[in-house]
């Protein structure tokens, strides 16, 4: 199977988007990351999606900040599921990115995750869950991850007031 494709509009988005890569790695899902700008390299955006279709990429994770057109533009060129991650901006803290990604017109679907590192990690998890719908090994690793999360909660410290 081709790897999950993680795309971002700028190298500066990598500190957020690496959380998607780490989640995929932790779940044993192959991935590759590239910078493709909707505004600065629209020709590369189109050819990247054409190649993804040919390669059989199962899911695309796209991170973008500011105007955040990348996820929607990618989705316009493919039938591959696109998961959008709003990358926080300095000016509006990612609200601008969130609104740009979540407000897609009817007929061009982008699954939108939370702003920032948590959204990127969940995009990796959701991509693994999508792959797990047809790959039992990945599905089992997602179940194991969920069990680890449960155990952390169940075995956490007891909540008590400090002694006075």
Query: What residue numbers does the annotated binding site for substrate cover?
Result: 10, 13, 40
Query: What residue numbers does the annotated binding site cover?
Result: 10, 13, 40
d(CA 153, CA 124): 21
**In 3D, which of 29, 96, 37 has the Cα closest to residue 71?**
37
Sheet holding 60-65, edge to edge: 31-35, 4-8, 60-65, 82-87, 111-112
Q: Phi and psi for 111 in degrees, rounded to 5?
A: -75, 120
C-beta separation of 42 from 73 below 8 A = yes
**In 3D, which of 118, 4, 136, 16 has the Cα closest to residue 66?**
16
Q: Which two tokens stand for residue 66?
A: 């500011």
C-beta separation of 88 from 116 below 8 A = yes
């Amino acid at each position: 199977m081709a790897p999950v494709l993680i795309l971002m509009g700028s190298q500066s988005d990598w500190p957020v988007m690496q959380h998607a890569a780490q989640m995929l790695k932790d779940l044993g899902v192959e991935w590759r990351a590239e910078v493709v700008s909707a505004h600065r390299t629209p020709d590369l955006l189109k050819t990247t999606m054409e190649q993804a279709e040919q390669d059989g990429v199962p899911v695309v994770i796209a991170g973008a900040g500011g105007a955040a057109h990348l996820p929607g533009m990618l989705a316009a060129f493919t039938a591959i599921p696109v998961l959008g991650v709003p990358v926080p901006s300095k000016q509006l803290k990612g609200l601008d990115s969130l609104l740009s990604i979540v407000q897609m017109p009817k007929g061009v679907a982008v699954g939108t995750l939370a702003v920032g590192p948590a959204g990127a990690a969940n995009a990796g998890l959701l991509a693994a869950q999508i792959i797990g719908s047809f790959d039992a090994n990945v599905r089992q690793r997602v179940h194991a991850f969920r069990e680890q999360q449960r155990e952390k909660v169940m075995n956490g410290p007891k909540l008590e007031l400090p002694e006075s």
